[in-house]
Amino acid sequence: MSDSKQAREAGGETGLLPTTSHQILRPFYPLSKPSKGGDLTRVDGRSGQAAGQLIYLSGRVLDRTGAPARNAKIEIWQANSHGRYTHPNDDNPAPLDPCFEGFAVVETDSDGAYRLKTIKPGAYPAGPGRIRPSHIHFEVFGKRERFVTQMYFAGDPHHEQDPWLQSSIKQETIVMPIIGPVAGMEPEAGRVNFDIVLMNG
């Protein structure tokens, strides 16, 4: 069975996949975008590796029929393992990580697939008594659609109190488990699969 047929059958009676839940862009969209490749754990000119749990993040960008979104640009940005963004508007006193910039841009291949190597971001304060759970921001530029979301990690104790995650009626499309360890990779690394389904591709 073809991938697209499998995907349509998984979509239930309509034959269409449920679209990934939209999330807000703000407030730490990068002002500078220094890195271009899919490895966020290294910074050009520095010998060290970003602090935190290594995450191999991969998935496919699809439209609702299960067809791959080929050559779609994906931008991701995230806090470091201490919960701090490399962004001038972030007033969180948590430390910056000299080996982590927190931005990458990759492109999907002919199968709609993408791959990233990063670290699990820390949770961070977002106002009095409010902690944002660990999350990674995504912006996808498909052929017909520009789509923004955030991916969260299953089992995070801050999910229930987070108004942005709770605003989603399809949390299952943006909350993903860490699966690990990863064969042939660092023993402490985890793997996350995050497929993104666009309305129109």
- Catalytic position from the list 82, 84, 132, 152: 132
What CA–CA distances, in Å, run from 46 to 90, 97, 107, 129, 159? 23, 11, 25, 36, 34
Residue 95 corresponds to which amino acid? Answer: P
User: Which among 91, 100, 106, 105 has a CA at the least distance from the CA of 120?
Assistant: 100
CA distance 40 to 12: 37
- Catalytic position from the list 84, 87, 135, 152: 135
Element (H, E) at 146: strand 146-153
- Catalytic position from the list 56, 85, 114, 152: 85
What CA–CA distances, in Å, run from 180 to 49, 53, 126, 131, 194? 20, 11, 30, 26, 15
User: Other CB atoms closer than 10 Å to residue 170's CB: what's the count?
Assistant: 12
- Catalytic position from the list 8, 64, 137, 152: 137
- Catalytic position from the list 56, 64, 87, 124: 124
Instruction: Please say whether the beta carbons of 98 and 89 come within 8 A.
Output: no
3-state DSSP assignment of residue 13: helix
Cα radius of gyration (the chain):
17
29 is catalytic: no
159 is catalytic: no
137 is catalytic: yes
114 is catalytic: no
82 is catalytic: no
Catalytic (active-site) positions: 85, 124, 132, 135, 137
